[in-house]
Structure 1
Amino acid sequence: MPERKALQLTAVSAAVGLVLAGAAAGLAGPWDSGQRTAERARAAAQAPAGGVHHAPQDPKPPAVRPTPAPAPSAPAVLRALPPAPPAARPLAPALDPLLGASGLGRTRTAAVVDAATGRLLYGSGAGTPMTPASTVKIATAAAALTALGPDHRIPTTVAARPDARALTLVGGGDPTLDRARLAALATGTAKALRTRKVTAVTLTYDTSLYTGPARHRIGPNDNIALVTPLMTAGARLEGSPAAGPAPRSADPAGDTARTFAELLTAQGVTVRPPTPAKAPKDAKPLATTRSAPLSALVERMLTDSDNDLAEALARQTALAGGRPAGFDGGSKAVRAQLAKLGLPLDGAVVADGSGLDRGNRLSARLLAGLLARAADPDRPALRPILTGLPVGGFSGTLKDRYADGSPGAGLVRAKTGTLTGVNALAGTVVGPDGRLLAFAFLAADTASPYEAQPALDALAAALTR
């Protein structure tokens, strides 16, 4: 029989947990980043009009404005939160029946953690390593943020020989490079060439930053491009969707270099057809474009379950640790960074950054623990893990789930995981007593995602009640 744990907290720890969870939930709220603009607009459109009119009574306000008086609703809003109940309500009676749903296949594990205290409130096989599918991206995000910090940006650089007549487009590992930024890089390069009175150049492109095979172990697949440090828009072919499966270029780096050459030609520079080559040792940066900050990249990776970005961040983590930037180096680097967070790694296997590899093994306890670490006020660098989680019924891979008035809509924030026969959900909810709960539910040998996903959604929604 799988273990069942429902741990009760003391009144003191519950009160402290409520305060910390409230703060963490506020930081992780659905309106805290640019990625949440659509959600904010949708909520505003659905909200009824109302409120207090605060137009000034005196059309000529004094030069020194007095401290504004609170609105009539302020006393109720600012009143201290009621104390937390003396003990957390046992979760087993609510979760046990749902975890037994036939749609969850032959093997299912679960962990629910109080994010404020890190204590396990519910567990069923919580320490058993399972195939996590795309929920492994939570681990990839935690490792990258720990190694590099949220402000890190990935460069793509044009390097030039001393005479500036030989240029090299050097890939830095940014799969979010797009045509607009590539055009800006061409403009900056042309400007620098004009100051040197250079009108004709040779162009090469350098992909030496990464080592090992470029193709993922799963083989050719619309879910991931060749993993190369130089590509444009995730190597998606023109007209393909910006997220999710899509046809990919067979030569992402070459296509990017050829597009750059065309853009440079449009700036009045004569460019020979580009060829692959490592940048010469005497080449110096001439122009550079940088990605969005790592915090935004992590949000995008988690919201859209972007496999290309996940593998890029695993390699950035490897580079930060002085390891080879390949599948093996990235896997070892991610595990090394996870070890720094003080969580149990028994049986954990990190085979890739995206979760496409079935060799990955993570426990529900580890995933829930990582989410709890992201809510820790002393670890603000990890906060993008929470802000990037898709919101039930609103965004990313949960946009079409928790629909039709489901109790989890807008309340469940979670990373999904789906492979044939594997389904997972890991994220956060705020419980009815105000505690921020981190959870992970993993299922294997599932017959159909159409049965497994609603069962997982019901488990997470139950925590909100």
Structure 2
Amino acid sequence: MTAPQPTSPGRRRAALALAAALVLGGVPGGLDAADAAIWPVVDPTPPATTPPGTTPVPTDGSAELDDTVALPLPPSEDEVRQAVNLDVTRIVDKGGLGPAASVRIVDVESGRSIYSSRSGTPRIAASTTKLFTATAALASLGLETRFPTVIERKGRARTVTLVSGGDPRMTNAKLRLLAKQTAAALKSKQPARTKVKGKLRKVVYVRLDDSVFAGASKLGTWRKGGYGLGTIQPVRGTARTTVRSSDSAASAARYFAKRLDSSLGRGWVVEYRGAKAAPAKARVVARVDSDTVHTLVKRMLLVSDNQVAEVLSRHVARSEGYRPTFAGGVKGTRKVMRRLGVDLGTSVLADGSGLSAANKISPAAVVNLLSVAAQPDRSELRALLYEDWSLPLAGRTGTLAYRFTGKSECARGAVVAKTGSLDWEIALSGYTVGEDGRLKAFSIVANRLWTSKARDKARAAADRIAATVNGCV
């Protein structure tokens, strides 16, 4: 990554101080090494040759700074707060965020407000909602938890049951592996032969038990049905990654049956017989696991995966003692927020993905969540929310890969944030390190953007605000 290009003397002085701190093996005041992850990388490798007339500087820490060269100190927290407040006020006053916008910026370590404009007003926050789902999943489920999909069979019965475990990323490779494991189990304990079209065959029936989740599979408040736009499938206990279907679990079971038939070979017949609960005392004969919660959350945040978000929300519901429904996911998430000390204020959660226009979340609640997640005693949250590149990196990865252009380009590689976008709404919420070397959290939400031009203008304004908080503009 390349360092931001400062445009004012104050910016240049802070950048110089930061570069010196990093080259000498230190980290700006108030941060640990992990916090420095969202600073552009400073390459400590010395050049292969030393330019004439210069003296090489040791890189083993033995060098002493020449006391005749005064390295400027970074500005104080108060100086940064005043400067950012003034600059952000100018951006907001220009109207780029539209007629219904809210902004909140805080210093994470001190908790002091840097800027606030209608920040307690709940607004349609779109995929910013996923920050709450991610936090609830990490805190309630644990980073290394996986969700198994199993095949169950009772004795030598000819029926095998695919039991959904809530895997939101069921690949064809996993289903083929299930089929191979099941074929081996069937061959070791073969069912009785039966006549099929006048010939004796070993017949196997495949059933589906998709009872892991309950309630409706789609939400009435999703804009245009949500999955009609290709953004999400109806929420089932198994979601295929390669095929979109109104019933992804049944689609997975049919594909499994087809692959099982191929794995068993001649003399066997496999039929899919639809949904039915696995029989009592049935035993597991095959199993595949989902990715870890760590990996699923990372994908959900980086590319804004709605399917993963809704499935994780239902797992949170189960973990917190609620029915695995849309409402149960919301209840579970709110319960985890209370346990973590996150103040939602008057915010309303309606789903796990943010597709619903009924989600009304205030920037104050989002920033409170980000601040709690960044605390040293919340390692399971810190690990994914900004230390492990799960949040999109400005101008580099995920949904921010093509953002931060023009005046905001200097913040590429120095801001991590979750984006949000619906028909008439945009949002940007995340972290950056300010000129004072301290971690900042921000949330920007803009509604009632009736044209694509208005939405593009609001996104550019949000990027500019984040770059201003970083201090590179």
What is the TM-score when the length of structure 2 is the normalising length?
A: 0.79
The corresponding residue for 1:254 is: 250
Note if contact 2:149-2:162 (Cα within 8 Å) is conserved in structure 1.
yes
Among 136, 146, 155, the alignment partner of 1:143 is 136
Larger deviation, residues 164-173 vs 297-306: 164-173
Number of residue pairs the alignment of both structures matches: 406
Matches within 5 A, 1:435-450: 435-447=438-450, 448-450=454-456
Alpha carbons of structure 1 residues 30 and 321: separation in structure 2 relative to 1, 3 Å? farther
Q: C-alpha separation between the residues in 1 aligned to 2:343 and 2:229?
A: 33
Instruction: Mark the runs of 5 or more structure 1 residues left unpaired by the alignment.
Output: 1-16, 32-42, 54-70, 238-247
What is the alpha-carbon distance in structure 2 between the residues aligned to residue 197 and residue 395 of structure 1?
A: 51
Gaps of 5+ in 2: 1-26, 50-56, 66-71, 192-201
Match of 2:462 in 1: 456
1:255-270 alignment runs, 5 A limit: 255-268=251-264, 270=268
2:238 to 226, 230, 233: 230
Superposition deviation, residue 191 in structure 1: 2.3
1: CA distance, partners of 2:64 / 2:203: 67
Q: CA deviation at 1:389?
A: 0.6
Letter in 2 for 1:232: R
Alpha-carbon separation, structure 2, partners of 1:287 and 1:393: 43
Task: Indicate conservation of the 8 Å contact 1:22/1:436, yes or no.
Answer: no
Q: How does 1:82-161 map to 2 (within 5 A)?
A: 85=76, 87-89=78-80, 90=82, 91-161=84-154
Whether the 8 Å CA contact 1:21–1:115 is kept in 2: the answer is no
| Counterpart in the other structure of 1:286 | 285
C-alpha RMSD over aligned residues: 2.8
- From 172, 186, 193, the equivalent of 2:179 is 186
**Partner Cα separation in structure 1 for residue 177 and residue 378 of structure 2:** 35
Indicate the larger mover: 217-226 or 435-444.
217-226
Moved more, 270-279 or 310-319: 270-279
Q: Distance in 1 between matches of 2:93 and 2:63?
A: 41
Structure 1: distance between partners of 2:184 and 2:64: 56
**Contact 2:38 / 2:413 at 8 angstroms: preserved in 1?**
no
- CA distance 1:249–1:76, shift in 2 (3 Å): farther
Aligned to 1:319: 318
Structure 1 residue aligned with 2:217: 214
Q: Identity rate of aligned residues, in percent? A: 35
Match in the other structure for 1:305: 304
Contact kept? 1:170, 1:230, Cα under 8 Å: no
SS at match of 2:208: strand
Displacement of 1:95:
0.6
- Worse overlay, 101-110 or 322-331: 101-110
Indicate the SS of the match to 2:121: coil
The alpha-carbon deviation at position 439 of structure 1 amounts to 0.6
Of 153, 170, 176 in structure 1, the residue corresponding to residue 169 of structure 2 is 176
Matched residue type, 2:308: L
Query: CA–CA distance in 2 between the matches of 1:267 and 1:322?
Result: 40
Deviation (angstroms), 1:434: 1.1
C-alpha distance in 1, partners of 2:411/2:381? 24
Question: What is the Cα deviation at residue 83 of structure 1?
Answer: 7.8
Within the candidate set 425, 429, 433, 2:432 is matched to 429
What letter is aligned with 2:434?
G
CA distance in 2, matches of 1:397, 1:101: 26
Match of 2:403 in 1: 401
1:205 is aligned, of 195, 204, 208, to 208
Give a deviation string over 1:269-322, Cα, whole Å, max 9, x none: 632124111222222222211111111111100000000010001001001012
Please give the alpha-carbon distance, in whole angstroms, between the structure 2 residues aligned to 1:373 and 1:52: 45
TM-score (structure 1 length as normaliser)? 0.81
